[in-house]
Amino acid sequence: MFLFLASDHFGYPLKKVIADHIQEKGIDFTDLGVNSEEEVVDYPDVALQACLGIREGKFQYGILICGTGVGMALAANKVPGIYAACAHDIYSAERAKKSNNSNVLTLGRQVVGPELAKMLVDAWLGSDFSGGRSLPKVQKIREIERRFFREG
């Protein structure tokens, strides 16, 4: 699995928790920063740079963390081929991958505590796209993306 982990300065403390957690589980990942709360960056810049790594084939999946997870999801989803899902509960994290084939999970430090964040990451990383009845829906999402990025 080619996984990245990245955050803005608001998300850094939770990113550190997640990095330690997935490292303890023996999961390989690349930490794309930031490396402190003092390293002030704007979440759209972080999301763009990290998600370009998926477009370039460097990564298959990614986890982005900011204050709420919402801003990172919005910015990440502007990159063609990125399907970012913001999750605050275990069921949504699991279904983001199983039903929606998301390749990026976004989390919010200000709305998700450390223990829940670990469970969200485990649920998301432990899920695979199930296809089935979800496949036509995911294909429709991709068609919307193709239509508007072609025109845009």
b/e sequence 106-118, b meaning 16+ C-beta within 10 Å: bbbbeebeeebbb
Order of strands across the sheet with 61-66? 30-31, 3-7, 61-66, 104-108, 84-86
* Residues with active-site annotation: 66
- For 107, the token pair is 């989390």
At 3 the three-state DSSP class reads: strand
In sequence order, the 6+-apart residues with CB closer than 8 A to the CB of 79 are 47, 48, 51, 52, 54, 55
